[in-house]
């Protein structure tokens, strides 16, 4: 059997500790798969005294995580610190420059610096692997990189944040409001004390930027991701979605807009109405799923647990074993120097159907004013639900449109918002067919 592959782990939170435990307890199994022993040589974490459920007594501790990159007994650095800059970035850069492969679960780091880090890895003949950074235990990076090599991906759609999926699932099942269910998610450990990255869509956007680069051969372009979260989703909208045959999901969607060299890529994270018959609509609770539409393979979906120590550590170890066996594919499916410059398609160019809920004063002429604005902006209605009959009562008016350019929909909503009879900001949710 070949020589030991020495691992340095930076970060011993739930994921890092689980990686160390699995390497220690399943060493024989991993060695069989890798064709060589895999051993943790050094670690770095803030608290040496914390019980992490794994015996690290024979492992060297480094107070400075970046020092792992300089150790002669470390061949591969596993970075599970997190954060787009600071120590995580310094360590990964130092490891790549020192000729050591890197396995990371850090989607924020890669979303902001992925193209540069991929170029550094290739320049130094080492791997940059990140299966654990997107959708946890779902092997979506490996599937896209290795399984779709002959396909032209047209669209990738994903439930990429388990916290949001849990909140929307419970809101639909119980009728409770967002703030109430968010508090439950925090109590269960599904949401952080500051849940902004999750519920405002940033976490999903980090992951979508990586999927976009991999699917479409473009440089990572997080800055061009259009991001909306789920804070404004109300039980009223969820109830109307059910009545109309939809479920509301926070989706990341990336697709080609245009043809040939002039084509741009649209990247969007926002709540969507998805038909209940669509496979992705059945993915509930904290689970993630990714649907890929490609030519010639067609449409397919992978689903599973998108977070947690076990699924994430499993993905990390999958990358480590790949590298141990010499499988070192380019990070984004093709050489980094061959990645096309990022070219964004603006959200306003999106064409689709829309759900719109208006809270209006119920009096004669309201509907005529609204439909007149829609007519002027060339927005055609597919269906309408109107509630309430008492004059001066605030009632919901729900519209579902035919396909229309988002720019026209936004222009119509801006004019509708200015009507005196519209008493709340309109709620608009894009409809995605799944």
Q: What is the DSSP string of 79-126?
A: E----SSTHHHHHHHHHHHTT-EEEE--HHHHHHHHHHHHHHHHHTT-
Question: Residue 91 is encoded by which pair of tokens?
Answer: 């360590």
Chosen domain end from 99, 114, 133: 133
Q: What is the pLDDT of residue 178?
A: 97
Quick one: 124 and 175 in the same domain?
Answer: no
HSE, side-chain direction, 13 A CA sphere, residue 90: 8
330 neighbors 118 (Cβ within 8 angstroms): yes
Q: Is residue 265 part of a domain?
A: yes
pLDDT tens string 251-271? 999 998 766 656 788 999 999
23 neighbors 7 (Cβ within 8 angstroms): yes
Mean pLDDT, residues 87-105: 98
Provide the annotated active-site residues: 207
Cα separations (Å) of 124 from 74, 93, 103, 127, 210? 16, 11, 15, 9, 22
Q: Give the separation between CA 3 and CA 101, rounded to whole angstroms.
A: 16
Query: What is the residue range of 415's domain?
Result: 350-431
φ, ψ for residue 419, nearest 5 deg: -70, 140
Q: Give the separation between CA 232 and CA 271, rounded to whole angstroms.
A: 10
Quick one: 118 and 174 in the same domain?
Answer: no
CATH of the domain at 58: 3.40.50.720
Contacts (Cβ under 8 Å, ≥6 apart) of 55: 24
| Selection from 409, 416, 314, 313 nearest residue 358 by Cα | 416
Q: What is the pLDDT of residue 387?
A: 76
Q: Is residue 317 part of a domain?
A: no
CA angle 250, 252, 257 (to 5 degrees): 135
Q: Is residue 324 part of a domain?
A: no
Full DSSP string of 21-37 = HHHHHTHHHHHHHHTS-
Quick one: 89 and 154 in the same domain?
Answer: no
Q: What is the pLDDT of residue 391?
A: 59
Whether residue 2 has pLDDT greater than 90? no
% pLDDT > 70, the chain: 97
Contacts (Cβ under 8 Å, ≥6 apart) of 385: 240, 243, 244, 396, 397, 398
SS3 167: helix
Quick one: 113 and 202 in the same domain?
Answer: no
Quick one: 357 and 243 in the same domain?
Answer: no
Q: Give the separation between CA 357 and CA 239, rounded to whole angstroms.
A: 12
117 neighbors 331 (Cβ within 8 angstroms): yes
Chosen domain end from 112, 133, 154: 133
Confidence of residue 179 (pLDDT cuts 50, 70, 90): very high
pLDDT tens string 139-149? 999 999 998 98
Q: Give the separation between CA 160 and CA 306, rounded to whole angstroms.
A: 7
Whether residue 1 has pLDDT greater than 50? no
Quick one: 174 and 144 in the same domain?
Answer: yes
HSE, side-chain direction, 13 A CA sphere, residue 190: 21
Q: Is residue 334 part of a domain?
A: no
Q: Is residue 64 part of a domain?
A: yes
Kindly report the pTM of this predicted structure: 0.94
Bridge partners, residue 152, by sequence: 295
pLDDT tens string 414-426? 999 999 999 999 9
Question: Residue 382 is encoded by which pair of tokens?
Answer: 């597919």
Contacts (Cβ under 8 Å, ≥6 apart) of 5: 34, 36, 37, 38, 39, 75, 76, 320, 323, 324
| Selection from 113, 54, 46, 56 nearest residue 81 by Cα | 46
Chosen domain end from 75, 103, 133: 133
Q: What is the pLDDT of residue 393?
A: 75
Whether residue 23 has pLDDT greater than 50? yes
Full DSSP string of 250-312 = EEEEEEEESSGGG-EEEEEEEEEEEETTSGGGG--TTEEEEEEEEETTEEEEEEEE-SSHHHH
Q: Is residue 406 part of a domain?
A: yes
Question: Residue 403 is encoded by which pair of tokens?
Answer: 């396909």
pLDDT tens string 6-17? 999 999 999 999
Q: Give the separation between CA 342 and CA 157, rounded to whole angstroms.
A: 19
Quick one: 290 and 240 in the same domain?
Answer: yes
Confidence of residue 388 (pLDDT cuts 50, 70, 90): low
Q: Is residue 424 part of a domain?
A: yes
pLDDT tens string 188-245? 989 889 999 999 999 999 999 999 999 999 999 999 999 999 999 999 999 999 999 9
pLDDT tens string 30-73? 999 999 999 999 999 988 888 888 988 889 999 999 999 999 99
Q: What is the pLDDT of residue 103?
A: 98
CATH of the domain at 354: 3.30.70.260
Q: Is the bond leading into 296 cis (omega within 30 degrees of zero)? A: yes
Quick one: 165 and 115 in the same domain?
Answer: no
| Selection from 172, 201, 207, 229 nearest residue 290 by Cα | 207
337 neighbors 387 (Cβ within 8 angstroms): no
Quick one: 101 and 161 in the same domain?
Answer: no
Mean pLDDT, residues 284-303: 94
Total domains, the chain: 3
Quick one: 146 and 212 in the same domain?
Answer: yes
Quick one: 227 and 275 in the same domain?
Answer: yes
SS3 321: helix
| Selection from 409, 329, 403, 400 nearest residue 377 by Cα | 409
Quick one: 231 and 256 in the same domain?
Answer: yes
Confidence of residue 373 (pLDDT cuts 50, 70, 90): very high
CATH of the domain at 161: 3.30.360.10
Tokens 């008016």 found at: 397
Confidence of residue 389 (pLDDT cuts 50, 70, 90): low
Q: Is residue 409 part of a domain?
A: yes
Average pLDDT taken over every residue of the chain = 93
pLDDT tens string 189-199? 898 899 999 99
């Amino acid at each position: 059997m070949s020589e030991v592959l020495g691992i340095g782990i930076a970060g011993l939170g739930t994921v890092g500790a689980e990686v160390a435990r699995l390497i220690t307890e399943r060493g024989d199994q991993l060695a069989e798969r890798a064709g060589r022993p895999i051993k943790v040589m050094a670690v770095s974490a803030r608290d040496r005294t914390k019980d992490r459920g794994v015996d690290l007594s024979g492992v060297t501790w480094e107070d400075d995580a970046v020092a792992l990159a300089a150790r002669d007994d470390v061949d591969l650095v596993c970075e599970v610190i997190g954060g787009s800059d600071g120590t995580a970035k310094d360590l990964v850069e130092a490891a790549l420059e020192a000729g050591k492969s890197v396995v990371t679960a850090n989607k924020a780091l890669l979303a902001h610096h992925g193209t540069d880090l991929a170029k550094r890895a290739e320049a130094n003949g080492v791997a940059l692997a990140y299966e654990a950074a997107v959708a946890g235990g779902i092997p979506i990076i490996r599937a896209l990189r290795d399984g779709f090599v002959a396909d032209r991906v047209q669209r990738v759609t994903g439930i990429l944040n388990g916290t949001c999926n849990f909140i929307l699932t419970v809101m639909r099942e119980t009728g409770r409001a967002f703030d109430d269910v968010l508090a439950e998610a925090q109590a269960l450990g599904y949401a952080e004390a500051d849940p902004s990255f999750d519920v405002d869509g940033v976490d999903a956007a980090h992951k979508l930027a990586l999927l976009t680069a991999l699917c479409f051969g473009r440089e990572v372009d997080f800055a061009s991701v259009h991001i909306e979260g789920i804070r404004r989703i109300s039980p009223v909208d969820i109830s109307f979605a059910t009545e109309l045959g939809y479920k509301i999901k926070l989706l990341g969607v990336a697709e080609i807009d245009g043809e040939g060299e002039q084509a741009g890529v649209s990247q969007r994270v926002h709540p969507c109405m998805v038909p209940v018959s669509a496979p992705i609509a059945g993915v509930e609770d904290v689970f993630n799923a990714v649907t890929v539409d490609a030519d010639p393979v067609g449409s397919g979906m992978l689903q599973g647990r998108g977070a947690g120590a076990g699924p994430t550590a499993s993905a990390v170890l999958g990358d480590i074993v790949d590298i141990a066996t010499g499988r070192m594919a380019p990070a984004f499916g093709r050489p980094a120097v061959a990645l096309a410059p990022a070219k964004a398609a603006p959200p306003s160019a999106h064409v689709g159907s829309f759900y719109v809920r208006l809270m209006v004063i119920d009096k004669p002429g309201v509907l005529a004013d609204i439909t007149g604005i829609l007519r002027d902006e060339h927005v055609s209605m597919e269906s309408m639900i109107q509630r309430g009959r008492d004059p001066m009562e605030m009632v919901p008016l729900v519209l579902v449109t035919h396909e229309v350019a988002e720019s026209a929909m936004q222009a119509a909503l801006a004019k509708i918002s200015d009507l005196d009879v519209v008493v709340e900001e309109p709620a608009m949710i894009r409809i995605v067919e799944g």
